[in-house]
Chains A and B, each alone.
Chain A
């Protein structure tokens, strides 16, 4: 596979990635936030069989955990080591990140499954606008292009909408991206014929309206993927459908209205303070209505907020904020702003003895979630009381 790396000034470098390297039998953390350095390190190591740990280097809590605990010496690591190739980390429901071990079979079957849903498309170039530290970027952005064979991988550290549009204009292009870019491109004043390009989007569902505007404007198609780090991909949908279709090899059913999944992509082991074997079916927190092999998303069953694919615990953020001396009580809620690229925003309502800087709040949250782009606004109120049920209630 050839990598076409676009520098900030628009100049391009062609890099051959298929070389083997010496590997160690131990887990190896790839610590870089630069996409070019990451790919040049990851692909040779992955193809040579190295076990790789991936997480956002800016995530202080995870970095501390990694530095204080030798993955290779964790209790029960021998069981998890069996066939494991990559250890991803995701934001767990408790707020502390959960590690998901992925075996060779987990990864290869999921890539095979993605290839099946893209069948009948002639793909010569794969343009990737997403980071590689998470499972979506690795699977769709690196392992799928390897599987497709004879494709050029096109990567840039950060794209602007016009830059992504220019790359998508080239023949037989698959674009691996997110709702932010789909919505941004839909807002550009000019339209182009992108009928030869296919867009894959994940991390958050797109509104049907945004899909319709994009597809009409560019005569192009969008495939959306749904899943999580632990489960891998669960479902996909093409175009304006409201229903999610299960990916090949995935079986679903309802468990008290929650989505219950059996799949060869689900991690066999997770690291959640200790290594735990996952028993299938895996029951997610997504409330769904199931019809045959399809489902419609209704909502989520707990106080978890999902922003740009990350699960954020509202309760945990409230607890973190209430550690700040000036803050007596905090309420975290999700606000949907349809007109913004990042539609999901957090509103933090505070009962505080004085003003608290956004920087301090950001620093506190980033200790638990890394430097993530959680857009939030602050609102101060006179009083937050607790109801008889223990629920926080705002008094102005």
Chain B
């Protein structure tokens, strides 16, 4: 079972968000767009690589990615579902 804090830590490390801590990323905070963490399309590409490298989870299309990357909670849920399937 992957913990949400571990996922947040990998996001911060992988995207080099040096000035943000895991506490500042709320579980349901939007990862993309100005109302949330403010990630963009290049970060989405980087996130797919981080997921594959760190959690052995593969994301192959953007339609799927939009839902999975909605928040750190949805991302963690997806990783755990994939690992259990």
Contact = CB atoms under 8 A, between A and B. Distances in A.
Given A158-B62, A163-B61, A359-B34, A341 B40 contact: no
Interface in A156-200: 156-163, 180-181, 184, 187-189
A10 B65 CA distance: 12
A373 B16 contact: no
B40 A180 contact: no
User: In which size bucket is the chain A interface?
Assistant: 20 to 34
In this complex, which of B15, B40, B60, B62 has the most chain A Cβ atoms within 10 angstroms of its Cβ?
B62
B59 interface: yes
Contact of B41 (A158, A189, A337, A340): A158
A163 B66 CA distance: 14
Contacts of B34: 359, 362
A229 B76 CA distance: 43
Interface residues of B, number: 25
B63 interface: yes
16 contacts: A8-B66, A10-B61, A157-B62, A158-B44, A160-B48, A160-B62, A161-B49, A162-B48, A162-B60, A184-B45, A184-B46, A342-B42, A373-B40, A373-B42, A377-B17, A377-B18
Interface of A: 8-10, 156-163, 180-181, 184, 187-189, 337, 340-342, 345, 358-359, 362, 373, 375, 377-379
Given A161-B49, A340-B16, A358 B63 contact: no
A341 to B, nearest CB: 5
A160 B16 contact: no
Contacts of B52: 188-189
Given A160-B65, A340-B16, A377-B16, A180 B60 contact: no
